[in-house]
Amino acid sequence: MKQHFRVIAVLTALLFIALGAVIAHQKFTPTPAKDHAVQQLWALKLKDSHGKEQALQQWQGKIVVLNFWATWCKPCVQEMPELQALHQELQAKNVQLLGIGIDSPSNISEFAQKHQISYPLFAAGMEGTALSQSFGNQVGGLPYTALVDQDGKIAKTYMGRLNIEDLRRDILNLLK
């Protein structure tokens, strides 16, 4: 009788573990981006870290690394130096990095000055959350990055802290 109870307990535990893994995978796996996400991006005008409003369509036709982040997001801040280095390495190759901050304009401005980020950082607030969802980030997790090719198609999305080498490889493949 004890042996039978143990088997049932172990099988029940395994069932809950498997169910938890399936739910976690579905929750943190980006969903396919909506067809209009890139057009929505190009239609935006956002204030940059200097308070100047810019039309994002100026980068249409380039490879765009679109990084959704926030000043209060530790993994976002941790990947910034790598993104800055990647920007400096690839900016002459028709690749543009854009940071879409889910934060206030004052926080974005202060952060950009303190950390000397040279690629454009924009303050999008909650509008940025809606935009990231249209790019496949249904749970609204940060950081979230989308790679847009020269033709305006979403080549790949990345949930969580980036592996910068994977991103570099994906960008170089688009440049071929």
Domain ranges of the chain: 1-30, 33-175
Q: Which CATH architecture has domain 33-175?
A: 3-Layer(aba) Sandwich (3.40)
pLDDT digits (tens, 9 = 90+) for 112-157: 999 999 999 999 999 999 999 999 999 999 999 999 999 999 999 9
Burial of 123 (0-12, 13-18, 19+ CB in 10 A): buried
Helix axes 164-175, 74-90, angle to 10 degrees: 30
CA distance 32 to 51: 33
Residues 9-14, mean pLDDT to the nearest whole number: 48
pLDDT of 25 higher than 70: no
pLDDT digits (tens, 9 = 90+) for 85-103: 999 999 999 999 999 999 9
| pTM greater than 0.85 | no
